[in-house]
Amino acid sequence: MVEPVNSSAPEFDVVFRARRLIGPNGEVSGSVGVREGRIAAVEALDAPMRGARTVELAEDEVLLPGMVDSHVHVNDPGRSEWEGFPTATRAAAEGGITTIVDMPLNCLPPTIDAGSLEVKREVARNNVHVDVGFWGGAVHGNLDELRGLHESGVYGFKCFLLHSGVDEFPPLDSAELERALRIVAELDATMIVHAEDSDAIEHAPSAHGENYRDFLHSRPRGAENMAIAQVLELARRTGARVHILHLSSSDALPMIASARADGVRATVETCPHYLSFTSEEIPDGATQFKCCPPVREAANRELLWRGLADGVIDCVVSDHSPCTPELKRLDIGDFGVAWGGVSSLQLGLSAVWSQARIRGFELSDVVSWMSSGPARVSGLRDKGALAVGSDADLCVFAPDDAYVVDAEKLHHRNAVSAYHGRALAGVVRSTWLRGTPIAGPEAGTAPAGKLLNRGEA
Ligand SMILES: [Zn+2]
């Protein structure tokens, strides 16, 4: 390479030098040059690259693309005492996440038309520490709004097939689901589905009291299996692209693989809690573990790991769905009345890495599940890859460092966490959004995140 005569001007705003980095083809050593918020070069570790500044990673650090969490309930506006944009996105940044996609429910109004999307954007604008995209809602009675929401920039649509937990976000029945999927196919959008069957849940024993097994029996695998079968068949019939949210029942993996082999456009996610916990070890009354679908048996957990190894499961995202400690009913520990949802936005990367490494997976696997996978499923073109042309969203991660979770020190709004007291491997040392530090020793306090629109990012 010929050096220009006037070689004093820096070519890059920042150059990262990393003995280990996770690129699109796995782990290598290298240097990453950032210009105007984008990755402008990925070259050898000793490549002669001049940056306005250089960040040398320590011996024990690995450079990752920023994590992408496409399943976050920010609840803002309307239930901001549960969570809000400043706190959720601060927690995300501290956890190595650079992009979240916000769910359309639990906020008020729910995001079910272009107007309510604009209300949410107004609240989020200038209040986010990471980039934020939005899902729209497909609910009973709003199918005529889907096109308008799509044109306003949502990344796709979420629907429920049973009561969502909040009355203002009513589920679709099967005729409406088919109609909605025809619209989604026409828009070339994605329908993301909470797949539990209403009828099956209604006929299951009701959840009450502090015994976790009783709660588990109230949300049987069969309810998930039936709903997923229905979604796959309607996706087959309509040609729509569908995504199964928070898979807990490993029974469904073979039918998802089989539908996909037939050309059905279906993807699937699971969550850190299904990969970390087992129903056998959840103490009575520990409602911080309550979520729907529920955490199941140890054998089921291992089959979910198999699903990741086999490539049937595309991604792992948090389903961060917090509420106040009062609504978790930690005082009485009643699984029947406690709000369902696990708060884990800041912990997902460490939680998944802790479990992955003891099963022989590599960091590059975790990156494909938690960064490139969710970016692909959501249609976030500029995210999820440490590659030239992508946004310079980066995470400096120390995989062999460790910590014990203290719920009080987490950044999401309410200090409730199913991971409290657990030792986790892997520490996020710093997080960078479009080349700017947003977590770690150099991070500023001003919100640096942007609101994203489908097709533009
Ligand atoms: Zn959710």
- H or E segment and range at residue 96: none
What is the residue whose two structure tokens read 């957990």?
A: 301
Q: Report all structural domains of the chain as residue ranges with CATH numbers, in order of start.
A: 11-57 (2.30.40.10), 66-379+403-422 (3.20.20.140)
In the prediction, which pLDDT does 6 show? Answer: 55
Q: Give, as one character, the DSSP assignment of residue 372.
A: I
What is the residue whose two structure tokens read 């709903």?
A: 227
Distance 72 CA to ligand 1 centre (A): 7
What is the residue whose two structure tokens read 């999820």?
A: 384
What is the residue whose two structure tokens read 């693989």?
A: 257
Helices (H), 163-220: 174-187, 198-202, 212-218
Distance 368 CA to ligand 1 centre (A): 21
Backbone angles phi, psi at 75, to 5 degrees: 65, 15
Distance 425 CA to ligand 1 centre (A): 25
* Distance from C-alpha of 228 to C-alpha of 30, rounded to nearest angstrom: 42
In tens, the pLDDT along 65-92 reads: 999 999 999 999 999 988 999 999 999 9
For residue 391, the cross-strand partners are 38
Beta strands, E only, 197-265:
241-244
HEC secondary structure over 294-324: CCCCHHHHHHHHHHHHCCCCCEECCCECCCC
Distance 357 CA to ligand 1 centre (A): 26
In the prediction, which pLDDT does 439 show? Answer: 98
Distance 232 CA to ligand 1 centre (A): 20
What b/e string do you get for 357-393 counting C-beta neighbours within 10 Å, with b at 16 or more? beeebebbbbbbbbbbbbbbbbbbbbbbbbeeebbbb
Distance 169 CA to ligand 1 centre (A): 13
User: Could you tell me which of 300, 291, 281, 204 has the C-alpha nearest to residue 245?
Assistant: 291
Distance 11 CA to ligand 1 centre (A): 43
Distance 269 CA to ligand 1 centre (A): 11
For 362, the 3-state DSSP assignment is coil
* Distance from C-alpha of 266 to C-alpha of 174, rounded to nearest angstrom: 18
293 prior amide bond cis, ω within 30:
yes
Query: 397: how many CB neighbours lie within 10 A of its CB?
Result: 28
Query: 258: how many CB neighbours lie within 10 A of its CB?
Result: 12
For residue 39, the cross-strand partners are 34
Residues ≥6 apart with Cβ < 8 Å to 277:
289, 295, 301, 418
Distance 442 CA to ligand 1 centre (A): 32
Distance 300 CA to ligand 1 centre (A): 20
In the prediction, which pLDDT does 7 show? Answer: 60
Under a CB-based contact definition with an 8 Å cutoff, are residues 448 and 433 in contact? yes
* Distance from C-alpha of 232 to C-alpha of 266, rounded to nearest angstrom: 7
Rounded to the nearest 5 percent, the helix, strand and coil shares of the chain are 30, 25, 45
Cα 160-310-25 angle, rounded to 5 deg:
105
In the prediction, which pLDDT does 328 show? Answer: 83
Distance 166 CA to ligand 1 centre (A): 12
In the prediction, which pLDDT does 305 show? Answer: 98
* Distance from C-alpha of 47 to C-alpha of 233, rounded to nearest angstrom: 52
In the prediction, which pLDDT does 4 show? Answer: 52
User: Could you tell me which of 339, 320, 218 has the C-alpha nearest to residue 272?
Assistant: 320
* Distance from C-alpha of 236 to C-alpha of 242, rounded to nearest angstrom: 10
Under a CB-based contact definition with an 8 Å cutoff, are residues 443 and 436 in contact? no
Per-residue pLDDT of the chain in tens (457 residues, 90 and over written 9): 445 555 678 999 999 999 999 999 999 999 999 999 999 999 999 999 999 999 999 999 999 999 999 999 999 999 998 899 999 999 999 999 999 999 999 999 999 999 999 999 999 999 999 999 999 999 999 999 999 999 999 999 999 999 998 999 999 999 999 999 999 999 999 999 999 999 999 999 988 899 999 999 999 999 999 999 999 999 999 999 999 999 999 999 999 999 999 999 999 999 999 999 999 999 999 999 999 999 999 999 999 999 999 999 999 999 999 888 888 888 889 998 888 889 899 999 999 999 999 999 999 999 999 999 999 999 999 999 999 999 999 999 999 999 999 999 999 988 889 999 999 999 999 999 999 999 999 998 999 999 999 988 7
- H or E segment and range at residue 54: strand 51-56
Distance 203 CA to ligand 1 centre (A): 23
* Distance from C-alpha of 317 to C-alpha of 348, rounded to nearest angstrom: 7
Start-to-end CA span in the chain (Å): 33
Distance 8 CA to ligand 1 centre (A): 51
158: Cα separation from own chain's centroid: 14
Distance 73 CA to ligand 1 centre (A): 6
Under a CB-based contact definition with an 8 Å cutoff, are residues 238 and 182 in contact? yes
* Distance from C-alpha of 284 to C-alpha of 307, rounded to nearest angstrom: 29
In the prediction, which pLDDT does 169 show? Answer: 95
